[in-house]
Amino acid sequence: MSNVVVFGAGVIGLQTAVTLVEAGYKVTVIAKHFPGDESTEYTSPWAGAQWRTHATADQIEQCQWDIASYKYWINMTKKGAEGRSENGIEIYPSYFYWATPTEESVSPSSIWFASHTHNFSVLPARSMPPDTYAGVLYDSIAINPSKYLASLLSRVTNLGASTIRAMLPTEAGLAGAIEEAERLLSQVGTEKVEVAAFVNCTGLGARELVKDENVFPIRGQTLLACIPSVTSPLNQPSSPLPPPAIYTREDAATPSITYIIPRPGTSTYVLGGTKQVNDWTVAADKTTTLEIIERCRALWPALREAEIEMLATQVGFRPGRKGGARLEAEEVQVNGKTKFVVHQYGHGGAGYQNSIGSAEKAVALVGECVRKGDDKEVRETVKDQEIASRD
Ligand SMILES: Cc1cc2nc3c(=O)[nH]c(=O)nc-3n(C[C@H](O)[C@H](O)[C@H](O)COP(=O)(O)OP(=O)(O)OC[C@H]3O[C@@H](n4cnc5c(N)ncnc54)[C@H](O)[C@@H]3O)c2cc1C
Protein backbone atom coordinates (compact mmCIF):
# COMPACT_ATOMS: atom_id res chain seq x y z
CA MET A 1 0.00 0.00 0.00
CA SER A 2 1.65 3.29 -1.08
CA ASN A 3 1.80 6.20 1.37
CA VAL A 4 0.44 9.55 0.25
CA VAL A 5 0.53 12.77 2.26
CA VAL A 6 -2.10 15.45 1.63
CA PHE A 7 -1.27 19.04 2.59
CA GLY A 8 -4.50 20.87 3.57
CA ALA A 9 -7.83 19.92 5.14
CA GLY A 10 -10.26 22.16 3.26
CA VAL A 11 -12.89 20.68 0.96
CA ILE A 12 -10.20 19.97 -1.68
CA GLY A 13 -7.74 18.25 0.67
CA LEU A 14 -10.36 16.21 2.52
CA GLN A 15 -12.19 15.08 -0.63
CA THR A 16 -8.83 14.09 -2.14
CA ALA A 17 -7.98 12.15 1.02
CA VAL A 18 -11.32 10.29 0.80
CA THR A 19 -10.80 9.45 -2.89
CA LEU A 20 -7.20 8.33 -2.22
CA VAL A 21 -8.18 6.03 0.66
CA GLU A 22 -11.00 4.57 -1.44
CA ALA A 23 -8.44 3.89 -4.19
CA GLY A 24 -6.31 1.90 -1.73
CA TYR A 25 -3.67 4.41 -0.60
CA LYS A 26 -2.50 4.90 2.98
CA VAL A 27 -3.13 8.58 3.64
CA THR A 28 -1.94 11.20 6.13
CA VAL A 29 -3.45 14.69 6.08
CA ILE A 30 -1.23 17.50 7.40
CA ALA A 31 -2.86 20.90 7.86
CA LYS A 32 -2.84 24.02 9.96
CA HIS A 33 -6.67 24.14 10.01
CA PHE A 34 -9.19 21.33 10.31
CA PRO A 35 -13.03 21.25 10.30
CA GLY A 36 -14.37 23.12 13.31
CA ASP A 37 -11.70 25.86 13.01
CA GLU A 38 -12.74 29.36 12.02
CA SER A 39 -10.04 31.43 10.36
CA THR A 40 -9.92 33.70 7.34
CA GLU A 41 -6.87 31.63 6.27
CA TYR A 42 -9.27 28.68 5.88
CA THR A 43 -11.78 29.28 3.07
CA SER A 44 -13.98 26.20 3.11
CA PRO A 45 -16.12 26.96 6.20
CA TRP A 46 -17.22 30.33 4.71
CA ALA A 47 -18.58 29.10 1.38
CA GLY A 48 -22.14 29.73 0.16
CA ALA A 49 -22.15 26.79 -0.70
CA GLN A 50 -24.11 25.55 -3.66
CA TRP A 51 -23.61 23.71 -6.94
CA ARG A 52 -23.66 26.47 -9.54
CA THR A 53 -21.16 25.73 -12.26
CA HIS A 54 -18.92 28.60 -13.37
CA ALA A 55 -17.47 26.57 -16.23
CA THR A 56 -18.16 27.59 -19.80
CA ALA A 57 -18.80 24.99 -22.51
CA ASP A 58 -15.21 25.21 -23.80
CA GLN A 59 -13.71 24.46 -20.36
CA ILE A 60 -14.10 20.73 -20.84
CA GLU A 61 -12.21 19.61 -17.75
CA GLN A 62 -13.99 21.98 -15.34
CA CYS A 63 -17.34 20.92 -16.84
CA GLN A 64 -16.39 17.28 -16.14
CA TRP A 65 -15.39 18.08 -12.54
CA ASP A 66 -18.65 19.91 -11.87
CA ILE A 67 -20.79 17.18 -13.41
CA ALA A 68 -18.95 14.52 -11.39
CA SER A 69 -19.78 16.43 -8.17
CA TYR A 70 -23.40 17.01 -9.23
CA LYS A 71 -23.99 13.31 -9.95
CA TYR A 72 -22.23 12.23 -6.76
CA TRP A 73 -24.30 14.55 -4.55
CA ILE A 74 -27.58 13.76 -6.26
CA ASN A 75 -26.88 10.07 -5.54
CA MET A 76 -25.98 10.93 -1.96
CA THR A 77 -29.31 12.73 -1.43
CA LYS A 78 -31.11 9.61 -2.64
CA LYS A 79 -29.72 7.73 0.35
CA GLY A 80 -32.50 9.02 2.62
CA ALA A 81 -33.15 12.01 4.86
CA GLU A 82 -30.90 10.77 7.64
CA GLY A 83 -27.82 10.39 5.42
CA ARG A 84 -28.45 13.84 3.95
CA SER A 85 -28.61 15.77 7.20
CA GLU A 86 -25.54 13.92 8.51
CA ASN A 87 -23.57 14.96 5.44
CA GLY A 88 -24.97 18.49 5.33
CA ILE A 89 -26.22 18.34 1.73
CA GLU A 90 -29.71 18.79 0.34
CA ILE A 91 -31.35 19.11 -3.05
CA TYR A 92 -33.42 22.29 -3.79
CA PRO A 93 -34.95 23.99 -6.80
CA SER A 94 -32.41 26.60 -7.93
CA TYR A 95 -33.56 29.84 -9.57
CA PHE A 96 -30.61 31.34 -11.44
CA TYR A 97 -30.89 34.81 -13.00
CA TRP A 98 -28.56 36.91 -15.15
CA ALA A 99 -28.75 40.68 -14.80
CA THR A 100 -27.25 41.38 -18.22
CA PRO A 101 -26.84 39.70 -21.62
CA THR A 102 -23.87 37.31 -21.59
CA GLU A 103 -22.77 34.48 -23.88
CA GLU A 104 -24.88 32.11 -21.76
CA SER A 105 -27.87 34.30 -20.96
CA VAL A 106 -28.62 35.21 -24.59
CA SER A 107 -29.48 31.57 -25.23
CA PRO A 108 -30.22 29.92 -21.87
CA SER A 109 -31.98 26.91 -23.41
CA SER A 110 -28.71 25.77 -25.01
CA ILE A 111 -26.54 26.28 -21.94
CA TRP A 112 -24.10 23.33 -21.62
CA PHE A 113 -25.38 22.04 -18.25
CA ALA A 114 -29.06 21.98 -19.33
CA SER A 115 -28.86 18.30 -20.24
CA HIS A 116 -26.88 17.35 -17.11
CA THR A 117 -29.09 18.93 -14.42
CA HIS A 118 -32.48 17.59 -13.35
CA ASN A 119 -35.74 19.45 -14.10
CA PHE A 120 -34.02 22.17 -16.15
CA SER A 121 -36.23 24.87 -17.66
CA VAL A 122 -35.93 28.44 -18.93
CA LEU A 123 -37.93 30.88 -16.80
CA PRO A 124 -40.54 33.06 -18.48
CA ALA A 125 -39.80 36.81 -18.36
CA ARG A 126 -42.95 37.53 -16.32
CA SER A 127 -41.77 35.35 -13.41
CA MET A 128 -38.42 37.07 -13.01
CA PRO A 129 -37.34 39.69 -10.44
CA PRO A 130 -36.85 43.31 -11.56
CA ASP A 131 -33.82 44.24 -13.71
CA THR A 132 -33.23 40.69 -14.81
CA TYR A 133 -32.28 39.72 -18.35
CA ALA A 134 -32.84 35.93 -18.28
CA GLY A 135 -33.27 33.05 -15.86
CA VAL A 136 -33.26 29.27 -15.57
CA LEU A 137 -34.55 26.78 -13.01
CA TYR A 138 -32.99 23.38 -12.21
CA ASP A 139 -32.47 21.06 -9.27
CA SER A 140 -29.31 21.89 -7.40
CA ILE A 141 -27.46 21.10 -4.21
CA ALA A 142 -26.86 23.29 -1.17
CA ILE A 143 -24.18 22.33 1.32
CA ASN A 144 -23.80 23.13 4.98
CA PRO A 145 -19.97 23.52 5.07
CA SER A 146 -19.45 22.79 8.76
CA LYS A 147 -21.45 19.54 8.57
CA TYR A 148 -20.06 18.53 5.20
CA LEU A 149 -16.41 19.14 6.16
CA ALA A 150 -16.89 17.28 9.46
CA SER A 151 -18.46 14.35 7.59
CA LEU A 152 -15.55 14.23 5.10
CA LEU A 153 -13.07 14.22 8.00
CA SER A 154 -14.87 11.46 9.87
CA ARG A 155 -15.22 9.42 6.64
CA VAL A 156 -11.52 9.62 5.91
CA THR A 157 -10.40 8.83 9.47
CA ASN A 158 -12.91 5.96 9.75
CA LEU A 159 -11.36 4.57 6.57
CA GLY A 160 -7.95 4.56 8.29
CA ALA A 161 -6.31 7.87 7.33
CA SER A 162 -4.23 9.77 9.92
CA THR A 163 -4.16 13.49 10.56
CA ILE A 164 -1.43 15.80 11.84
CA ARG A 165 -2.14 19.38 12.80
CA ALA A 166 0.87 21.48 11.82
CA MET A 167 1.82 24.62 9.94
CA LEU A 168 4.29 23.63 7.23
CA PRO A 169 7.13 26.15 6.82
CA THR A 170 6.99 28.27 3.68
CA GLU A 171 10.38 30.03 3.75
CA ALA A 172 12.25 27.11 2.11
CA GLY A 173 9.48 26.49 -0.43
CA LEU A 174 8.03 23.09 -1.21
CA ALA A 175 11.29 21.23 -0.46
CA GLY A 176 11.31 22.67 3.08
CA ALA A 177 7.64 21.73 3.59
CA ILE A 178 8.30 18.15 2.39
CA GLU A 179 11.28 17.83 4.71
CA GLU A 180 9.15 18.99 7.65
CA ALA A 181 6.28 16.66 6.65
CA GLU A 182 8.70 13.69 6.60
CA ARG A 183 10.04 14.72 10.00
CA LEU A 184 6.49 14.89 11.40
CA LEU A 185 5.68 11.44 9.96
CA SER A 186 8.81 9.95 11.49
CA GLN A 187 7.70 11.21 14.91
CA VAL A 188 4.34 9.44 14.65
CA GLY A 189 5.36 5.90 13.67
CA THR A 190 8.17 3.61 14.62
CA GLU A 191 9.17 2.72 11.05
CA LYS A 192 10.51 5.06 8.38
CA VAL A 193 7.68 5.89 5.98
CA GLU A 194 8.51 6.17 2.27
CA VAL A 195 6.05 8.68 0.82
CA ALA A 196 5.08 7.86 -2.77
CA ALA A 197 3.51 11.29 -3.39
CA PHE A 198 2.52 14.54 -1.70
CA VAL A 199 -0.67 16.32 -2.74
CA ASN A 200 -0.62 20.08 -2.28
CA CYS A 201 -4.19 21.23 -1.43
CA THR A 202 -3.28 24.39 0.46
CA GLY A 203 -5.74 26.76 -1.28
CA LEU A 204 -4.69 30.39 -0.82
CA GLY A 205 -1.75 29.10 1.27
CA ALA A 206 -0.10 27.92 -1.98
CA ARG A 207 0.70 31.56 -2.70
CA GLU A 208 3.35 31.37 0.05
CA LEU A 209 4.14 27.66 0.01
CA VAL A 210 5.05 27.38 -3.68
CA LYS A 211 5.45 31.12 -4.31
CA ASP A 212 2.71 31.04 -6.92
CA GLU A 213 2.07 34.68 -7.76
CA ASN A 214 -0.94 33.73 -9.87
CA VAL A 215 -2.86 32.97 -6.67
CA PHE A 216 -4.96 35.85 -5.34
CA PRO A 217 -7.86 36.36 -2.87
CA ILE A 218 -11.44 37.00 -3.94
CA ARG A 219 -13.17 38.40 -0.88
CA GLY A 220 -16.69 37.20 -0.14
CA GLN A 221 -18.89 38.87 2.47
CA THR A 222 -22.11 37.11 3.45
CA LEU A 223 -24.52 36.94 6.35
CA LEU A 224 -26.10 34.05 8.13
CA ALA A 225 -29.76 34.72 8.80
CA CYS A 226 -32.88 33.20 10.24
CA ILE A 227 -36.11 34.10 8.46
CA PRO A 228 -38.90 32.93 10.78
CA SER A 229 -41.96 34.14 8.87
CA VAL A 230 -43.41 36.64 6.45
CA THR A 231 -45.02 39.63 8.20
CA SER A 232 -48.56 40.27 7.04
CA PRO A 233 -50.69 43.42 6.90
CA LEU A 234 -52.08 44.79 10.17
CA ASN A 235 -54.21 42.37 12.28
CA GLN A 236 -53.39 39.44 10.03
CA PRO A 237 -51.35 36.48 11.33
CA SER A 238 -47.90 36.25 9.81
CA SER A 239 -47.42 33.40 7.37
CA PRO A 240 -44.58 30.88 7.17
CA LEU A 241 -41.98 31.24 4.44
CA PRO A 242 -42.60 29.27 1.26
CA PRO A 243 -40.48 26.08 0.97
CA PRO A 244 -36.77 26.87 0.73
CA ALA A 245 -35.06 27.19 -2.63
CA ILE A 246 -31.74 28.54 -3.89
CA TYR A 247 -31.89 31.99 -5.54
CA THR A 248 -28.90 33.48 -7.37
CA ARG A 249 -28.53 36.62 -9.47
CA GLU A 250 -25.31 37.20 -11.32
CA ASP A 251 -24.42 40.72 -12.36
CA ALA A 252 -21.25 40.63 -14.46
CA ALA A 253 -20.99 44.43 -14.29
CA THR A 254 -20.45 44.58 -10.50
CA PRO A 255 -18.11 42.97 -7.91
CA SER A 256 -21.13 41.34 -6.32
CA ILE A 257 -23.32 38.28 -6.66
CA THR A 258 -26.67 38.02 -4.95
CA TYR A 259 -27.76 34.73 -3.46
CA ILE A 260 -30.01 33.13 -0.88
CA ILE A 261 -28.92 29.62 0.00
CA PRO A 262 -30.62 27.43 2.63
CA ARG A 263 -28.21 25.81 5.10
CA PRO A 264 -29.26 22.12 5.08
CA GLY A 265 -30.11 20.66 8.49
CA THR A 266 -30.88 24.11 9.96
CA SER A 267 -33.57 26.77 9.55
CA THR A 268 -30.97 29.33 8.49
CA TYR A 269 -29.97 30.85 5.15
CA VAL A 270 -26.79 32.38 3.80
CA LEU A 271 -27.41 35.73 2.13
CA GLY A 272 -24.69 37.00 -0.17
CA GLY A 273 -22.58 38.42 -1.29
CA THR A 274 -19.50 40.02 -2.81
CA LYS A 275 -16.66 39.00 -5.14
CA GLN A 276 -13.88 41.51 -4.42
CA VAL A 277 -10.67 40.68 -6.22
CA ASN A 278 -7.40 41.21 -4.28
CA ASP A 279 -9.25 42.61 -1.27
CA TRP A 280 -7.86 41.26 2.03
CA THR A 281 -10.22 43.19 4.36
CA VAL A 282 -11.13 40.82 7.18
CA ALA A 283 -13.79 42.95 8.91
CA ALA A 284 -17.34 42.85 7.54
CA ASP A 285 -18.53 46.16 6.12
CA LYS A 286 -21.87 47.40 7.57
CA THR A 287 -22.98 49.17 4.39
CA THR A 288 -22.29 46.02 2.38
CA THR A 289 -24.41 43.99 4.83
CA LEU A 290 -27.37 46.37 4.34
CA GLU A 291 -26.90 46.26 0.55
CA ILE A 292 -26.89 42.45 0.61
CA ILE A 293 -30.19 42.40 2.54
CA GLU A 294 -31.70 44.87 0.08
CA ARG A 295 -30.52 42.86 -2.96
CA CYS A 296 -31.83 39.60 -1.45
CA ARG A 297 -35.26 41.12 -0.74
CA ALA A 298 -35.47 42.10 -4.42
CA LEU A 299 -34.36 38.61 -5.50
CA TRP A 300 -36.84 36.44 -3.58
CA PRO A 301 -40.32 37.99 -3.43
CA ALA A 302 -41.14 36.17 -0.15
CA LEU A 303 -38.39 38.16 1.58
CA ARG A 304 -39.87 41.55 0.71
CA GLU A 305 -42.14 41.48 3.76
CA ALA A 306 -40.13 39.06 5.87
CA GLU A 307 -38.38 39.67 9.12
CA ILE A 308 -34.66 38.85 8.63
CA GLU A 309 -32.95 37.94 11.88
CA MET A 310 -29.22 38.41 11.36
CA LEU A 311 -27.16 35.77 13.19
CA ALA A 312 -23.66 36.59 11.94
CA THR A 313 -21.74 38.46 9.27
CA GLN A 314 -19.03 36.41 7.58
CA VAL A 315 -15.97 37.08 5.43
CA GLY A 316 -14.07 34.45 3.46
CA PHE A 317 -11.34 34.61 0.80
CA ARG A 318 -11.77 32.42 -2.28
CA PRO A 319 -8.47 31.00 -3.60
CA GLY A 320 -8.48 32.68 -7.03
CA ARG A 321 -5.79 31.82 -9.58
CA LYS A 322 -4.96 33.41 -12.93
CA GLY A 323 -5.35 30.63 -15.47
CA GLY A 324 -7.65 28.59 -13.19
CA ALA A 325 -6.98 25.81 -10.71
CA ARG A 326 -3.53 24.19 -10.86
CA LEU A 327 -3.73 20.41 -11.20
CA GLU A 328 -0.42 18.95 -12.25
CA ALA A 329 2.44 16.80 -11.01
CA GLU A 330 5.93 18.10 -10.26
CA GLU A 331 9.20 16.42 -9.29
CA VAL A 332 10.98 18.20 -6.43
CA GLN A 333 14.56 17.55 -5.29
CA VAL A 334 14.89 17.23 -1.52
CA ASN A 335 18.39 16.49 -0.19
CA GLY A 336 19.36 14.82 -3.47
CA LYS A 337 16.24 12.65 -3.66
CA THR A 338 13.33 13.01 -6.09
CA LYS A 339 9.93 13.60 -4.45
CA PHE A 340 6.65 13.54 -6.37
CA VAL A 341 4.11 16.30 -5.74
CA VAL A 342 0.63 16.71 -7.21
CA HIS A 343 -0.59 20.30 -7.00
CA GLN A 344 -4.29 20.85 -6.56
CA TYR A 345 -5.17 24.42 -5.55
CA GLY A 346 -6.68 27.67 -6.81
CA HIS A 347 -10.30 26.58 -7.30
CA GLY A 348 -11.61 30.14 -6.71
CA GLY A 349 -15.34 30.28 -6.06
CA ALA A 350 -15.91 26.72 -7.24
CA GLY A 351 -14.02 24.51 -4.78
CA TYR A 352 -17.08 22.58 -3.60
CA GLN A 353 -18.59 21.94 -7.01
CA ASN A 354 -15.15 21.05 -8.44
CA SER A 355 -14.18 18.85 -5.50
CA ILE A 356 -15.29 15.35 -6.55
CA GLY A 357 -14.04 15.52 -10.16
CA SER A 358 -10.90 17.44 -9.26
CA ALA A 359 -10.00 14.86 -6.59
CA GLU A 360 -10.47 12.03 -9.13
CA LYS A 361 -7.99 13.73 -11.47
CA ALA A 362 -5.51 14.32 -8.61
CA VAL A 363 -5.70 10.64 -7.64
CA ALA A 364 -5.03 9.63 -11.26
CA LEU A 365 -1.93 11.90 -11.21
CA VAL A 366 -0.83 10.29 -7.90
CA GLY A 367 -1.11 6.90 -9.68
CA GLU A 368 1.24 8.14 -12.42
CA CYS A 369 3.72 9.41 -9.79
CA VAL A 370 3.66 6.05 -7.99
CA ARG A 371 4.37 4.20 -11.28
CA LYS A 372 7.24 6.60 -12.09
CA GLY A 373 8.65 6.15 -8.58
CA ASP A 374 8.46 2.34 -8.88
CA ASP A 375 10.19 2.42 -12.31
CA LYS A 376 12.91 4.66 -10.89
CA GLU A 377 13.42 2.28 -7.97
CA VAL A 378 13.70 -0.73 -10.31
CA ARG A 379 16.23 1.15 -12.51
CA GLU A 380 18.30 2.11 -9.46
CA THR A 381 18.26 -1.47 -8.09
CA VAL A 382 19.40 -2.86 -11.49
CA LYS A 383 22.13 -0.22 -11.62
CA ASP A 384 23.30 -1.12 -8.07
CA GLN A 385 23.32 -4.83 -9.01
CA GLU A 386 25.36 -4.09 -12.16
CA ILE A 387 27.90 -2.08 -10.14
CA ALA A 388 28.07 -4.85 -7.49
CA SER A 389 28.63 -7.58 -10.14
CA ARG A 390 31.46 -5.53 -11.73
CA ASP A 391 33.30 -5.11 -8.39
C1 LIG B 1 -18.24 33.61 0.35
C2 LIG B 1 -17.85 32.38 -0.40
C3 LIG B 1 -18.82 31.68 -1.13
C4 LIG B 1 -18.47 30.52 -1.83
N5 LIG B 1 -19.46 29.83 -2.47
C6 LIG B 1 -19.15 28.69 -3.12
C7 LIG B 1 -20.16 27.94 -3.77
O8 LIG B 1 -21.35 28.30 -3.73
N9 LIG B 1 -19.81 26.80 -4.42
C10 LIG B 1 -18.50 26.37 -4.47
O11 LIG B 1 -18.24 25.35 -5.10
N12 LIG B 1 -17.52 27.07 -3.87
C13 LIG B 1 -17.81 28.22 -3.20
N14 LIG B 1 -16.82 28.95 -2.60
C15 LIG B 1 -15.41 28.57 -2.85
C16 LIG B 1 -14.91 27.46 -1.95
O17 LIG B 1 -15.23 27.74 -0.62
C18 LIG B 1 -13.40 27.33 -2.13
O19 LIG B 1 -13.06 27.13 -3.49
C20 LIG B 1 -12.87 26.13 -1.34
O21 LIG B 1 -13.31 26.20 -0.01
C22 LIG B 1 -11.35 26.07 -1.40
O23 LIG B 1 -10.99 24.92 -0.66
P24 LIG B 1 -9.48 24.53 -0.42
O25 LIG B 1 -9.50 23.22 0.25
O26 LIG B 1 -8.71 24.69 -1.68
O27 LIG B 1 -8.90 25.68 0.55
P28 LIG B 1 -9.10 25.89 2.13
O29 LIG B 1 -10.47 25.57 2.57
O30 LIG B 1 -8.61 27.28 2.42
O31 LIG B 1 -8.12 24.85 2.79
C32 LIG B 1 -6.71 25.05 2.73
C33 LIG B 1 -6.08 24.07 3.71
O34 LIG B 1 -4.67 24.17 3.57
C35 LIG B 1 -4.07 24.40 4.85
N36 LIG B 1 -2.82 25.11 4.68
C37 LIG B 1 -2.54 26.17 3.87
N38 LIG B 1 -1.24 26.50 3.98
C39 LIG B 1 -0.67 25.62 4.86
C40 LIG B 1 0.62 25.42 5.39
N41 LIG B 1 1.66 26.19 5.03
N42 LIG B 1 0.82 24.42 6.29
C43 LIG B 1 -0.19 23.60 6.68
N44 LIG B 1 -1.46 23.74 6.20
C45 LIG B 1 -1.70 24.74 5.30
C46 LIG B 1 -5.14 25.17 5.62
O47 LIG B 1 -4.89 25.11 7.01
C48 LIG B 1 -6.38 24.41 5.18
O49 LIG B 1 -6.50 23.22 5.93
C50 LIG B 1 -17.13 30.08 -1.84
C51 LIG B 1 -16.17 30.76 -1.09
C52 LIG B 1 -16.52 31.89 -0.38
C53 LIG B 1 -15.48 32.60 0.45
| Span from the CA of 210 to the centroid of ligand 1 (angstroms) | 16
- Say whether 62 sits in a helix, a strand or coil: helix
Estimate to the nearest angstrom the gap between the alpha carbon of 187 and the chain centroid: 31
| 48 Cβ inside 6 Å of ligand 1 | yes
Helix (H) or strand (E) holding 141: strand 134-143
pLDDT at 62: 96
pLDDT at 229: 66
Q: Are residues 166 and 292 in the same domain?
A: no
pLDDT at 333: 96
Looking up residue 262, the CATH number of its domain turns out to be 3.30.9.10
Q: Are residues 155 and 267 in the same domain?
A: no
Q: Are residues 126 and 174 in the same domain?
A: no
Q: Are residues 163 and 185 in the same domain?
A: yes
Q: Are residues 227 and 256 in the same domain?
A: yes
* Ligand 1 atom with the shortest distance to the CA of 12: 25
166-169, long-range: CB < 8 A, 24+ apart: 166/30, 166/31, 166/32, 167/32, 168/7, 168/30, 168/32, 168/209
Listing DSSP states for 185-201 in one string gives HHHHSSSPPPEEEEEE-
pLDDT at 232: 57
- Give the integer Cα–Cα distance in Å for 341 and 321: 19
Q: In what order do the strands lie in the sheet with 195-200?
A: 162-165, 26-31, 3-7, 195-200, 337-345, 326-334
Residues with pLDDT less than 70, the chain: 80-85, 190, 229-238, 377-382, 384, 391
Q: Are residues 121 and 223 in the same domain?
A: yes
End-to-end CA separation in angstroms for the chain:
35
Q: Are residues 262 and 331 in the same domain?
A: no
Q: Cis link prior to 323 (omega < 30° from 0)?
A: no
Q: Are residues 290 and 224 in the same domain?
A: yes
Q: Please write the tens of the pLDDT for every residue from 41-74.
A: 999 999 999 999 999 999 999 999 999 999 999 9
Q: Please write the tens of the pLDDT for every residue from 227-272.
A: 876 655 555 666 777 889 999 999 988 889 999 999 998 889 999 9
| 202 Cβ inside 6 Å of ligand 1 | yes
Q: Cis link prior to 49 (omega < 30° from 0)?
A: yes
Nearest CA, atom 2, ligand 1? 47
pTM for the whole structure: 0.94
pLDDT at 255: 87
Helix (H) or strand (E) holding 84: helix 81-87
Nearest CA, atom 44, ligand 1? 31
Q: Are residues 226 and 297 in the same domain?
A: yes
| 352 Cβ inside 6 Å of ligand 1 | yes
Q: Check if the beta carbon of residue 319 is closer than 8 Å to that of residue 206.
A: yes
The angle subtended at Cα 205 by Cα 28 and Cα 9, nearest 5°, is 30
CA nearest 42: which of 199, 229, 182, 167? 167
Nearest CA, atom 4, ligand 1? 47
Pairing between strand 89-98 and 134-143? antiparallel
Q: Are residues 25 and 130 in the same domain?
A: no
Which residues span the domain enclosing 26?
A: 3-43+149-213+323-390
